Amino acid sequence: MSEQTIQSRIMKDINSRKGCHAFKIVSASKAGCPDILACINGHFIGMEIKKPGEIPTPQQAHRLTQIRSSGGVSVWFDSFDSYFDWIERFIPRALFEVDDSFRELAPPTAKIIEELMI
């Protein structure tokens, strides 16, 4: 599945959910900006989307880290299924929790972002 197809499916899914809105960032924007920015039940989310098996570039990882350190949630996915698993766990917790515990729901690959920053 192409990166564009994954992005389109994710956008369609987010925008079909109550209390959720997402928009795609065009490539002319600031370098490393996540592909999708979303507000999900009041939480700012930056999402980088990659083709299966690919990882974010160091510049993309840096932007995701900036979002997280500013209080937002940053994640990246290389498949629709990994996104869907994450969103199904994230939304119920985002509705009722005000602490940072929902950030632990980031996909295991989020650790790679930290490693890219070294």
The number of residues in the chain equals 118
Burial group, residue 62, by CB count within 10 angstroms (0-12, 13-18, 19+):
middle
Average pLDDT for the chain: 82
pLDDT tens-digit profile of 35-80?
999 998 888 999 999 999 999 999 999 999 999 999 999 999 999 9
CB atoms within 10 A of CB 27: 8
Tokens describing residue 63: 């932007």
* For the chain, domain boundaries: 3-116
pLDDT at 98: 45
Tokens describing residue 4: 């564009």
The domain over range 3-116 is classified in CATH as 3.40.1350.10 = yes
